[in-house]
């Protein structure tokens, strides 16, 4: 195989991949932003989506006359998928594995912050109040992880390691899962929530999962339950969750929101029991370098004649298996 042509889709102000010079040693590289993508795509073999929030490929699809592979530097691929890409023979890969450990650590931190009242302790300190309280023992608490892919499994393993009772929720219910033990049917989510202390949302965003944690499901959670969303904002009915938090029935750590950045007038900013972070749960020091190195390794496989993978199931919107 001759040197392929790679189009790097980035955005103004975004630092380039660390390994771009190494990429240029095995491929011709063109750099494009959303506005110039259609000009850069003709004759290109590979699209490297570095601007992970861009949906520009759909508009530029008519110019993709020789595209064979799209790699997205993110775990979620919902922004890049559209009918033309789904119906094509173009391979789609994602950043599978890069974010598993960091996001699992972040979820564990949220659980400790909630059960050990760390946010409350900080508030009291800032007010100069010495108020002794009792906190909750984390071990033996019950967690349900919605999403049983690589990130969900990493979350299950780290929660089990500190003594939580963990189950998963996914498309295929089963017993004897090596990480979750029991996996319940995510399509019947409300039935499995009445005894959940910590509900972790990490499912990919698809037509089937959008709004899966709605008013009915939230009402099924017990008072005092804790919701953590590190998947995608639209997995959750945000208005219904806001109402539950405002009522004091549920607390939440939300790393992803329906609209990002969260609008300045959104009540979640100031509601007691709502803890907002700016879509950063997987972004540890060096994460961009890991993403760059992963693409370079895949590219070298491609040049050597090996199909990069695992492939995203374009119909389901995630890597199966």
**What global pTM score does this model have?**
0.96
pLDDT of residue 1 exceeding 60, the answer is: no
Range of the domain at 31: 5-98+285-303
Same-domain check for residues 295 and 201: no
Check whether residue 113 and residue 262 sit in a common domain. Answer: yes
Confidence at 320, pLDDT banded by 50, 70, 90: confident
Q: Comparing 101-105, 221-225, 317-321, which segment has the lowest mean pLDDT? A: 317-321
Residue 232 lies in a domain: yes
Q: Are residues 151 and 270 in the same domain?
A: yes
Q: Classify residue 188: in a domain, yes or no.
A: yes
Q: What is the mean pLDDT of the chain?
A: 97
Is 321 inside any structural domain?
no
Q: Tokens 């999962």 — which residue?
A: 209
- Is 295 in the same domain as 221? no
Verify that 105 and 245 share a domain, yes or no: yes
Q: What is the pLDDT of residue 17?
A: 97
Strands 250-254 and 198-201: unpaired
Residues 107 and 253 in one domain: yes
Report the pLDDT averaged over residues 206-217.
Answer: 97
Residues 131, 108 within the same domain: yes
**pLDDT at res. 321:** 66
pLDDT digits (tens, 9 = 90+) for 106-121: 999 999 999 999 999 9
Please check whether residues 110 and 245 belong to one and the same domain. yes
Same domain, 109 and 93: no
Q: Check which CATH number belongs to the domain holding 75 and give it.
A: 3.40.50.720
Residue 195 within any structural domain of the chain: yes
| Model confidence at 42: pLDDT above 90 | yes
The pLDDT confidence band at residue 224, using thresholds 50, 70 and 90, is very high
Number of domains comprising the chain: 2
């Amino acid at each position: 195989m001759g040197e392929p042509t790679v189009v790097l889709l980035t955005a103004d102000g975004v630092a380039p991949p660390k390994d771009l010079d190494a990429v240029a040693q095995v491929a011709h590289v063109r750099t494009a932003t959303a506005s110039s993508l259609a000009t850069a795509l003709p004759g290109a073999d590979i699209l490297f989506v570095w601007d992970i929030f861009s949906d520009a490929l759909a508009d530029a699809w008519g110019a993709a006359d020789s595209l064979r592979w799209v790699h997205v530097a993110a775990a979620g691929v919902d922004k890049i998928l559209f009918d033309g890409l789904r119906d094509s023979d173009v391979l789609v890969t994602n950043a599978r594995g890069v974010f598993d450990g960091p996001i699992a650590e972040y979820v564990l931190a949220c659980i400790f912050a909630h059960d050990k009242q760390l946010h409350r302790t900080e508030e009291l300190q800032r007010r100069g109040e010495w108020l002794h309280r009792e906190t909750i023992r984390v071990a033996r608490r019950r967690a349900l992880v919605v999403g049983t892919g690589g990130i969900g499994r990493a979350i299950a393993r780290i929660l089990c390691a500190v003594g939580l009772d963990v189950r998963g929720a996914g498309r295929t219910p089963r017993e004897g899962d090596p990480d979750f033990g029991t996996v319940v049917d995510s399509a019947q989510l409300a039935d499995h929530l009445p005894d959940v202390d910590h509900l972790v949302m990490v499912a990919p965003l698809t037509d089937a999962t959008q709004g899966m944690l709605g008013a009915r499901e939230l009402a099924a959670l017990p008072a005092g339950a804790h919701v953590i969303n590190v998947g995608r904002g639209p997995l959750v009915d945000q208005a219904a969750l806001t109402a539950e938090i405002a009522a004091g029935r549920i607390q939440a750590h939300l790393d992803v929101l329906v609209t990002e950045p969260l609008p300045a007038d959104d009540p979640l900013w100031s509601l007691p029991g709502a803890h907002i972070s700016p879509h950063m749960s997987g972004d540890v020091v060096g994460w961009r370098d890991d993403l760059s190195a992963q693409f370079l390794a895949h590219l070298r496989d491609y040049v050597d004649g090996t199909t990069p993978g695992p492939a995203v199931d374009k119909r389901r919107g995630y890597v199966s298996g």
